[in-house]
Amino acid sequence: MSRRTGPSTVLVVDDDADLRELTATYLQAHGYRTRTAANGFEALSVLKRDRPSALVVDLQMPLMNGAQLRRQLQKRPDRARIPFILISGAINAIEIGRALGVTAVLTKPFELAGLLSALATCCPQPA
């Protein structure tokens, strides 16, 4: 298996199109490649083809929410270890994240710089 070179790829999953695109654009401006999905089902489709360096996932989404996506990925050894950063406005977001075993939890509204810090702890930083 060859080592991947170049920027890390982050899959941004959020049903809010504006926030999804803002987050992706911000990460791109800081050297990351990005993919996007509007819900957990779309994310699973992306993950069939790609293995991103990290996922940034909203908790509350229609069709398949962030918790359901996390549980689906935990069933797959090849995807269970991808760093998973949960974003949520839920009052108990930290407890939910802890129960799901996520890498980090960012509570809404969150600072984009905080997202960069969370990513820096779990995947290679862009040059």
C-alpha–C-alpha distance, residues 61 and 119, integer Å? 22
Q: Where are the domains of the chain?
A: 9-120
> Is pLDDT above 80 for 6?
no
Cα dihedral 65, 71, 72, 74 sign: positive
**What is the mean pLDDT of the segment spanning 84-104?**
94
Selected from 3.40.50.740, 3.40.50.300, 3.40.50.2300, 3.40.640.10, the CATH number assigned to the domain covering 9-120 reads 3.40.50.2300
Position 108 confidence tier, pLDDT thresholds 50, 70, 90: confident
**What is the mean pLDDT of the segment spanning 57-81?**
94
Position 123 confidence tier, pLDDT thresholds 50, 70, 90: confident
Percent of the chain beyond pLDDT 90? 80
pLDDT digits (tens, 9 = 90+) for 12-56: 999 999 999 999 999 999 999 999 999 999 999 999 999 999 999
The pLDDT assigned to 51 comes to: 92
